C-alpha cells in the first residue's frame, strides 16, 4: 500500500455519528461511540451504519438494499455482480469505455494535480472507473455495499497490480466521510427514484472537501422516449431517467449549485469530430454534472471542450452556499 492507516483514518468518520476514527491494530475505532470497524480478508474495511435507512418509494430497490445490507461477508461461487464485463455485449463494453474516458477527461481538466488527490467512488461496483483512474491519483477509495462487487473489484485490482486502492463496504445513505474527499464519483446510481436520489446527493455534498468536486450522472429521459412511453419494449428495468429540468431541480433541492453539465453520447467516441458536428441532432445518453462543495463557493468554469458538450451554471453567493453545509458534527 502507498498509504498508512492513520492517513486513511484522517479521511474517514463514523457512519453513525460522523465523529473521527483512529486506527487500532488492524481496525478502526470511533473516538466518540467506541464502535470498532474491521477489515475483511485484510483488505475490505466494513464501515456500515448500525442499521439501514427505512423504506424508500422504490420497493424493489428497498428489498435488494436491505438484503445486501444484512449479508455477511462470505464468498459466493455463483455470484455475478452488476456490470461484470464478461457478461455484457460488445456494444455495452464499447459504450462503457467511452463513458470511462469521458469521466477521466472531466477529472483531468480542472488543473489540480490529480497525483496529490484522493478519488472516492461511492457506488464503485466492479471498478470500471476506480481501476481506470487509479494511476492518476495518489489513492482511491473504492466503496460499495455489495460484497460480491467488492470482492470482484479487489481481485481485479490485484491482477492489475494496483496498490493504491482502498476497499470500503459502505452504505451510501450514511457515508463515512465528512468534508474529506477531493474528487468523488457517483455514476449510474441516481436511478432509483427522487427520495433515493435526494438522500444520496445530500450525502455526497457532505462528503466532499471544501475545494473538492463531485461528478454524478443521470440517465437522460430523451435518450429513448419511445421506450419510456411504452411504445417500444423497454430495456432499462425499473431505472428512473430524468429530463434536464428534472435533474437540475433535484440538484437545486439538495443545495447543489454552480455545476457544469457535460452531455455524454454513447454513439460517439468522446474525442471524435463527428460528435461536435452531429450531437445537436441526437439526445444525450447521460447528463453528467460536476460540482463543488456547498461550503466552498467554488466557481466552475465553462470552456470549449472536445469530446462532449458542456454548459455551466452561475454560482450562488458564497454566503448562501456556506450556510448549506457544516463540516463539524
Ligand atoms: C448500477 S451499479 C453502478 C456501478 C458503477 N458506478 C458503474 O457505473 O459501473 C450501482 C451500484 O450501487 C451499489 N449500491 C446500491 N445501493 C447501495 C448503497 N445503499 N450503498 C452503497 N452502494 C450501493 C450496488 O451494489 C452497485 O454496485
Ligand atoms: Zn461513532
CATH number of the structural domain spanning residue 96:
3.40.50.150
Does residue 65 sit within a domain?
Answer: no
Number of domains in the chain: 1
Q: What are phi and psi of 86, to 5 degrees?
A: -60, -25
148 found inside a domain: yes
Q: Is residue 73 part of a domain?
A: no
Distance 13 CA to ligand 2 centre (A): 8
Angle, vertex CA 208, rays to CA 206 and CA 213, nearest 5: 135
CA distance 245 to 268: 24
Cβ(205)–Cβ(216) under 8 Å? no
In a domain, 199, yes or no: yes
Q: Where are the beta strands (DSSP E) in 31-151?
A: 36-37, 39-40, 44-46, 118-121, 139-144
Yes or no: say if 291 and 258 are a contact pair by the CB < 8 Å rule: yes
pTM here is 0.89
**Domain range for 278:** 89-323
Among the bound ligands, the one closest to the CA of 97: 1
Note down pLDDT in tens along the chain; length 329 residues.
556 788 889 999 999 999 999 998 889 999 999 999 999 888 899 999 999 988 899 999 999 999 999 998 877 777 777 777 777 888 888 899 999 999 999 998 766 677 888 999 999 999 999 999 999 999 999 999 999 999 999 999 999 999 999 999 999 999 999 999 999 999 999 999 999 999 999 999 999 999 999 999 999 988 876 666 666 666 666 789 999 999 999 999 999 989 999 999 988 787 777 766 776 778 889 999 999 987 665 444 333 333 345 566 654 444 444 445 677 67
Separation of 24 CA from ligand 2 center, angstroms?
A: 14
> What's the Cα-to-Cα distance from 44 to each of 14, 142, 254, rounded to whole Å?
16, 9, 31
Distance 201 CA to ligand 1 centre (A): 14
* Beta strand 39-40 pairing with 139-144: unpaired
Angle at 213 between CA 20 and CA 33, to 5 degrees: 15
Of all ligands present, the nearest one to the C-alpha of 132 is: 1
The reply to whether 70 falls in a domain is no
Residues with CB under 6 A from ligand 1: 65, 82-83, 123-125, 128, 144-146, 149, 170-173, 187-189
In-domain check, residue 45:
no
Domain presence at residue 189: yes
* Residue 300 contacts residue 260 (beta carbons within 8 Å): yes
In a domain, 36, yes or no: no
**Grid coordinates representing 179?**
468534508
H helices, E strands: number in the chain: 10, 13
Ligand 1: which of 52, 68, 145 to mutate, most ligand atoms within 8 Å of CB? 145
Q: What is the pLDDT of residues 165-195, one digit of tens each?
A: 999 999 999 999 999 999 999 999 999 999 9
Is 269 in contact with 67 (CB distance < 8 Å)? no
Contact 118, 181 (CB under 8 A): yes
CA distance 176 to 231: 43
Ligand 1: distance of its center to the CA of 239 in Å?
A: 13
Q: How far apart are CA 30 and CA 15, in angstroms?
A: 9
Amino acid at each position: 500500500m502507498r498509504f498508512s492507516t492513520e492517513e486513511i483514518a484522517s479521511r474517514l468518520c463514523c457512519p453513525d455519528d460522523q465523529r473521527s476514527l483512529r486506527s487500532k491494530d488492524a481496525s478502526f475505532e470511533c473516538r466518540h461511540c467506541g464502535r470498532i470497524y474491521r477489515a475483511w480478508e485484510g483488505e475490505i474495511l466494513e464501515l456500515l451504519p448500525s442499521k439501514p435507512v427505512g423504506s424508500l418509494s422504490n420497493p424493489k430497490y428497498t428489498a435488494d438494499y436491505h438484503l445486501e445490507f444484512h449479508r455477511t461477508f462470505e464468498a459466493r461461487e455463483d455470484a455475478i455482480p452488476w456490470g461484470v464485463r464478461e457478461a455484457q455485449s460488445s456494444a455495452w463494453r464499447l459504450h462503457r469505455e467511452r463513458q470511462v474516458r469521458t469521466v477521466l477527461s472531466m477529472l483531468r481538466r480542472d488543473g489540480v494535480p490529480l497525483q496529490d488527490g484522493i478519488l472516492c467512488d461511492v457506488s464503485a461496483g466492479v471498478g470500471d472507473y476506480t481501476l481506470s483512474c487509479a494511476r492518476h491519483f495518489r489513492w482511491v477509495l473504492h466503496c460499495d455495499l455489495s460484497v460480491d462487487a467488492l470482492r470482484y473489484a479487489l481481485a481485479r485490482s490485484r491482477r492489475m497490480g494496483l496498490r493504491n486502492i482502498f476497499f470500503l463496504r459502505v452504505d451510501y445513505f450514511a457515508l463515512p466521510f465528512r468534508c474529506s474527499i477531493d474528487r468523488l464519483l457517483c455514476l449510474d446510481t441516481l436511478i432509483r427514484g427522487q427520495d433515493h436520489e435526494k438522500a444520496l446527493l445530500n450525502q455526497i455534498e457532505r462528503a466532499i472537501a471544501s475545494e473538492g468536486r463531485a461528478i454524478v450522472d443521470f440517465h437522460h429521459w430523451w435518450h429513448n422516449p419511445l421506450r419510456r412511453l411504452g411504445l417500444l419494449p423497454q430495456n432499462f428495468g425499473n431505472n428512473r431517467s430524468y429530463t434536464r429540468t428534472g435533474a437540475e431541480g433535484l440538484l437545486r433541492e439538495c443545495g447543489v449549485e454552480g455545476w457544469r453539465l457535460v452531455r455524454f453520447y454513447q454513439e460517439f467516441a468522446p474525442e471524435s469530430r463527428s460528435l461536435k458536428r452531429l450531437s445537436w441532432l441526437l439526445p444525450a445518453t447521460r447528463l453528467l454534472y460536476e460540482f463543488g462543495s456547498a461550503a466552498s463557493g467554488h466557481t466552475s468554469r465553462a470552456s470549449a471542450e472536445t469530446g462532449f458538450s458542456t454548459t455551466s451554471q452561475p454560482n450562488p453567493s458564497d454566503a448562501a452556499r456556506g450556510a448549506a453545509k457544516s463540516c463539524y458534527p
